[in-house]
Amino acid sequence: MNLSFIFPVFNEGERLKLLFKKIILFNHKYLKNAQYIFVNDGSIDNSLELLKYFKTNNKKLNIQIYSYKKNRGKGYALKKGIEISKTDWLLTLDVDLSVDLNQILRWKKKIIFNKNYAYIGSRNLISSKVKTLFIRYLIGKIMNVLLYSVLKIEIKDTQCGFKLYHKSYIKKIFRKLSIKGYAHDVEIIIKIKKKGIKILELPVNWSYKAGSKVNLLSDSIKFFLNIIFIKLRF
């Protein structure tokens, strides 16, 4: 499978070392020709130094680093990662591996990937295995009600970071991305559907990791305001 893993990185110095170990093992055992793209979204810790060290000391891996000084948001970081990717299939996921790298192998065993589909990881499917905090679960449910009420989106989980796209449609869609923060997922899903691309939600094994950069109060408010923006614009 011709695949890029795209990681947005913002102050992830504490998590990157474990991720690097898992990438080395995963690449050796399963996908030796995969591309690993890290977009440093204005980190002020040692994330960029760690990324450079990882690339320098693992020359057999196809590692690409894109970096800029100002924090612009997860959506913008993914936009840049997708822009520089060189493979047919593009997988977005989080540095904390709340959904592990091996999830793509579990998906691959069950389905034949079709370039006319977008594959969305969903924590809200019966067959998904989820370990999270009750407050995060509750806010997620509220957001789903909000999305359906305002935008009539029937996707069960728009916010899981584990998503698989084909370059034939996703590069053009991300190029015109308006929302740079967490609600970018909603904009992307709406544009994918408008383009006639089918969306298939797939189960994931998802575990909450301490140290999340998400602020439940302020980011929820921003998310709500972005939903209103999407409603008015799209």
Who wins on pLDDT, 210 or 107? 107
* pLDDT recorded at residue 31: 81
Burial profile 89-110: b = 16 or more Cβ within 10 angstroms, e = fewer: bbbbbbbbbbbbbebbeebeee
Q: Please state, as a whole number, how many other Cβ atoms lie within 10 Å of the Cβ of residue 67.
A: 16
For residue 232, pLDDT over 80 is answered with yes
* pLDDT recorded at residue 233: 81
Strand partners, 90: 4, 165
* Number of domains forming the structure of the chain: 1
Express as a percent the part of the chain with pLDDT over 90. 74
For residue 143, pLDDT over 90 is answered with no
* pLDDT recorded at residue 20: 97
Who wins on pLDDT, 152 or 90? 90
What sign results for the dihedral spanned by CA atoms 178, 179, 180, 186? Answer: negative
How does pLDDT run across 159-193, given as a tens digit for each residue?
Answer: 999 999 999 999 999 999 999 888 999 999 999 99
Report the number of secondary-structure helices (H) and strands (E) in the chain: 8, 9
* pLDDT recorded at residue 40: 98
What sign results for the dihedral spanned by CA atoms 75, 207, 217, 125? Answer: positive
Domain extent for 49: 3-233
How does pLDDT run across 4-48, given as a tens digit for each residue?
Answer: 999 999 999 999 999 999 999 999 888 888 999 999 999 999 999
For 19, the token pair is 């991720």
CATH number (domain holding residue 85): 3.90.550.10
* pLDDT recorded at residue 104: 97
Rounded-to-integer distance, Cα 129 and Cα 107, Å: 14
Provide the pLDDT confidence category of residue 119 given band limits of 50, 70 and 90: very high
Provide the pLDDT confidence category of residue 98 given band limits of 50, 70 and 90: very high
